[in-house]
Structure 1
Amino acid sequence: MNTPFSRTLLATSTLLVSATSLAAGFQVNEHSATGLGRAFAGEAVIADNASVLSRNAAAMMMFDKDAFSMGMTVVQPDVTVKNGTYNRPNGTINVGVDLNKNVTFDSASVGYDSVNLADVDGIAPTAFVPNFYYIHPVNEKFAVGVAAYSNFGTGTEFESDYAAPIFGGTTKVQSMNLGLSLAYRVNEHLSFGGGLDIIYGMGDLYRDVDGDVTINVDAPRPIPDQSMSFSGKTTAVDIQATGVGLGANIGMVYEVNDGNRFGLSYKYSPEIEATGDVSFMKQSYDAVYLPLPDIAEFSGFHMITNKTAIHYSIQWVGWSAFDSIETESATVKEYNWKNSYHYSIGATHYLNNKWTLRTGYMYDQTPVDELTSISIPDSDRQWFSAGFTYNWSSNTALDFGVTYLLGKDVEVHEVVDESLPAPSVTAITHSDAVLAAIQLSHTF
């Protein structure tokens, strides 16, 4: 059965993967401990270790030795859903389908029972985000590099007895970028770089639906009429799927002099086709298509004294690409997200040969426009960051960064379908997080 009711339930219940991601939407910024300590200000051009590969391949030409970095970011989210009311459906929905599979509501007799939801918190588990980078200067003109990190991902889990199960449930989505890059130096000032990214994604998604509902489908021959009823709680979605997509990136660095430089980069993100077991209301789908946003970034770095630098970034994220989720046969749901930006500024103080101190601030815009959800407690966010580097030797450094991420209250009114009064939920969501990262960097 392929009704607007079923299609929007599938979308609402499965691929709203933005619940507690660490940047706006479901973007993951956590690519290094050094970057976290400065709120990722200047990331496309600072190049203080090999993690710059995650932002700008052209910056590899600033290394005259082989370099690697590896690290881990630990994320402790604090997500709450409070003051909630759930409209639990009951009644009959009559649906018409034509030969072109266009669907209309002929009539609907749907009522609902209102349920006050208990406030919940702790629905986002602790997350661990690893990374690895290696840069090899071939000669004065060329360098190559490999990188492994994540650009997208999230995870939330409501208790099984949550009273609005179609809007709660479990969402676990992870991705990993495996990248190969090449850089070329044009002259002492200008370098270019680019590469390919293999993006692997996996998801484990589960939702229940409850109520007392009968759905009748009136279809022309040879399509048979169908009817489905459920009472109480039944499994709405049970998905385990994986997918691979091919992305790309390009970048440039302009070095004015030793203390002043600019970086510009662009990442192309593919649409991921996730295949596996996709079960929804006794129906099966072969694949779900998730469009990912392109990302552009401009960064600057300036030494203002012989020991202190300021740096900044403006990042554009093309979230308008995330307009809908589709299966192989139908549009699942419209999202109509908007493009968003984040703005960050930071400072680095080179205290002595052993210690480097850094700090930063970021204002991160949400891409969510009019369609809010308790599964997307997403808002404009502020990042307050600090960190340091301890140089064990002239070749080896230990980096540490910490960030407090502060969100806003969001008033949510979420429905499964605009034509139906239920299921629906109203609530206030809020999302904060504490992030800490450690990293080992070495040149040889």
Structure 2
Amino acid sequence: MNHTDSRRSSAHLNSLRADAQAHPRKPMLELRPLAYASPFIALLAGTMVSTQASAAGFQLSEHSARGLGRANAGEAAIADTAAVLARNTAGMTRLKGTHVTGVLSFIDLEVEADGTTTTATGITLPANDENAAPNAFVPAFYSSYQLDEKLFVGFAVFSNFGLKTDYDDRFAGLDVADEASVETINITPSIAYKLTDQLSLGVGVDYVLADAKLSTSAPQFIAPGTPALLDLEGDGDDVGYHVSALFELTPQTRFGLQYRSSLDIDIEGDAEFRFPVPVDADGSLELNLPDMVELSAYHEITSTWAVHGSVNFTNWERFDSLIADIEGDPRSPITLKEENWDGNLRYAIGVTHSLNEQLVLRGGLALDKSPVARENRTLSIPDSDRLWFSAGASYLVSENLSVDFGIARLEGESVEVVETSEGIGNTVVADVEGSATIASLQVNSRF
């Protein structure tokens, strides 16, 4: 960078400082679109926060307790409660009458970083954090309504993506990874139509609200010669769609397929440069969420035993970089981080056993492949392959009321992360290991 550019950058920062002092900014209101949503949706928003992704990348799969108990194996084909709206809207045609399902999941996370930070001057410091991700509650709500023999409609509120890493204030690598969070809510009206006795089709709209925060080192050209940290925080929304099909080969065997579109959410809010004197400006962050495909199968071996499985593909190639736009900065848009993720596959298999007319037991195993190559791992999203071990049960309280419980243990690999802060020049080398225990409770009613 030449001296002219340096003077321009310094002048721009001085202008921002003067504006910040002359016009103090009010705290940003998070999740502003929710002000126009129903109180129930606002309640969901209040609890659907601070969540670290339990699936690969920062994807969430805590859609139902029944699904959790079978490691989400066969979810697009089983269609046994209104929670099928999250995985295959065509499955509504198997739900006669009116069905309502409520779910609350708890994620107990264990993310540990053990390493060192080497400063630009060559000093080595320990960089350890025994709990870099907080625990979380994840709720969901589903309802389906049969209009006639062939036509069904549904409404659902759930989340497909979520992330929260928050390193301790004493962590010797905060310029690389301080805090990162992504919170989303998917509001989904859907419709399903039974074309024939064997084939049903579904389609729906996905209105997604997102709230995000990122703390990272500022690129060097923003503040030449000055170590600086940048905080970005804001919210946004986008509209997508999903299409699905359910094919019932026989009364005992069926297949489900669903595609959910990608989303491009412009997160608008506040950008703060953490210098000796903090400087605020308006800013935005582009959040590209992937499209997803799920293929599932279900087969009843006997009247009391069934097997089921799923293959899921998530197109994480769309999450290739984090790009910010700082108002008034001629260098915007600014690439904060190159992510360079790949698409990933998830494989799941499960079994269900009806012990008697009131009690059903289930279990499942899954392998969730990471979309992040070794050279692209970061402390903000220290992703790795995951193994799922799941079990669950359903109890029929009455003809119109049932309760489900599911539990899963996720074991992630220990991975090495090497990351250098731009501008500051510190390098963190750490082994990061993550695991989680998830418990979920579900209540289903039908009318």
1:161 corresponds to which residue?
170
Instruction: Tell me the distance in 2 between the aligned counterparts of 1:216 and 1:408.
Output: 36
Match of 2:429 among 415, 426, 430: 426
2:284 corresponds to which residue?
287
In structure 1, the gaps of 5 or more residues are: 4-16, 90-111, 218-225
The 5 A counterparts of 1:244-259 are: 244-259=237-252
Instruction: Tell me the distance in 2 between the aligned counterparts of 1:138 and 1:207.
Output: 51
**Contact 1:88–1:423 (CA under 8 A) maintained in structure 2:** yes
1:88 corresponds to which residue?
119
Q: 1:237 to 1:65 in 2, by over 3 A?
A: same
Instruction: Please give the secondary structure, in 1, of the residue aligned with 2:83.
Output: helix
**Contact 2:254–2:299 (CA under 8 A) maintained in structure 1:** yes
Amino acid at match of 1:37: G
Amino acid at match of 1:88: T
**Aligned-residue identity in percent:** 37
Amino acid at match of 2:186: N
Once the two structures are TM-superposed, the CA of residue 238 in structure 1 deviates from its matched residue by: 2.7
The 5 A counterparts of 1:233-312 are: 236-281=229-274, 282=279, 284-312=281-309
**Contact 2:51–2:135 (CA under 8 A) maintained in structure 1:** no
Instruction: Please give the secondary structure, in 1, of the residue aligned with 2:90.
Output: helix
1:108 corresponds to which residue?
none
Once the two structures are TM-superposed, the CA of residue 162 in structure 1 deviates from its matched residue by: 1.5
Instruction: Tell me the distance in 1 between the aligned counterparts of 2:352 and 2:202.
Output: 26
Amino acid at match of 1:336: N
Instruction: Tell me the distance in 1 between the aligned counterparts of 2:343 and 2:213.
Output: 27
Amino acid at match of 1:435: I
Amino acid at match of 2:292: I
| Higher relative contact order (Cα pairs below 8 Å, separated by 6+ residues) | 1
Amino acid at match of 1:27: Q
Whether 2:197 is the aligned partner of 1:188: answer yes
Residue-by-residue CA offset, 1:153-181 (whole Å, 9 max, x unaligned): 01121121211111232223211100000
1:365 corresponds to which residue?
369
Match of 1:352 among 344, 353, 356: 356
**Contact 1:363–1:381 (CA under 8 A) maintained in structure 2:** yes
The 5 A counterparts of 1:8-407 are: 20-82=52-114, 84-89=115-120, 112-206=121-215, 229-230=226-227, 236-281=229-274, 282=279, 284-328=281-325, 329-332=332-335, 333-369=337-373, 370-407=375-412
Once the two structures are TM-superposed, the CA of residue 208 in structure 1 deviates from its matched residue by: 7.0
Whether 2:417 is the aligned partner of 1:412: answer yes
TM-score, structure 2 length as denominator?
0.83
Aligned pairs, number: 391
Segment of structure 1 superposing worse, 330-339 or 256-265 = 330-339
Instruction: Tell me the distance in 1 between the aligned counterparts of 2:350 and 2:89.
Output: 22
**Contact 1:28–1:150 (CA under 8 A) maintained in structure 2:** yes
Instruction: Tell me the distance in 2 between the aligned counterparts of 1:171 and 1:205.
Output: 5
Once the two structures are TM-superposed, the CA of residue 360 in structure 1 deviates from its matched residue by: 0.2
Instruction: Tell me the distance in 2 between the aligned counterparts of 1:272 and 1:201.
Output: 8
Amino acid at match of 1:160: D
Segment of structure 1 superposing worse, 270-279 or 342-351 = 270-279
Q: 1:19 to 1:116 in 2, by over 3 A?
A: farther
Instruction: Tell me the distance in 1 between the aligned counterparts of 2:69 and 2:390.
Output: 5
Spell out structure 1 runs of 4+ moving beyond 4 A.
none
Instruction: Tell me the distance in 2 between the aligned counterparts of 1:254 and 1:202.
Output: 37
Once the two structures are TM-superposed, the CA of residue 280 in structure 1 deviates from its matched residue by: 3.2
Instruction: Tell me the distance in 2 between the aligned counterparts of 1:353 and 1:388.
Output: 13
RMSD across aligned positions (CA): 2.4
Amino acid at match of 1:129: V
**Contact 2:52–2:135 (CA under 8 A) maintained in structure 1:** no
Residue-by-residue CA offset, 1:69-115 (whole Å, 9 max, x unaligned): 00111000100101x121223xxxxxxxxxxxxxxxxxxxxxx3332
Q: 1:19 to 1:142 in 2, by over 3 A?
A: closer
Once the two structures are TM-superposed, the CA of residue 116 in structure 1 deviates from its matched residue by: 2.7
**Contact 2:285–2:323 (CA under 8 A) maintained in structure 1:** yes
Amino acid at match of 1:287: S
Amino acid at match of 1:158: Y
Instruction: Tell me the distance in 1 between the aligned counterparts of 2:224 and 2:110.
Output: 42
Instruction: Tell me the distance in 1 between the aligned counterparts of 2:128 and 2:70.
Output: 34
Instruction: Please give the secondary structure, in 1, of the residue aligned with 2:78.
Output: coil
**Contact 1:20–1:376 (CA under 8 A) maintained in structure 2:** no
**Contact 1:190–1:254 (CA under 8 A) maintained in structure 2:** yes
Instruction: Tell me the distance in 2 between the aligned counterparts of 1:246 and 1:65.
Output: 29
Instruction: Please give the secondary structure, in 2, of the residue aligned with 1:119.
Output: strand
Once the two structures are TM-superposed, the CA of residue 119 in structure 1 deviates from its matched residue by: 2.7
In structure 2, the gaps of 5 or more residues are: 7-48, 326-331
Amino acid at match of 2:106: V
TM-score, structure 1 length as denominator?
0.83
Instruction: Tell me the distance in 2 between the aligned counterparts of 1:187 and 1:308.
Output: 27
Residue-by-residue CA offset, 1:392-434 (whole Å, 9 max, x unaligned): 01111000000000000101111235xx892221111100000
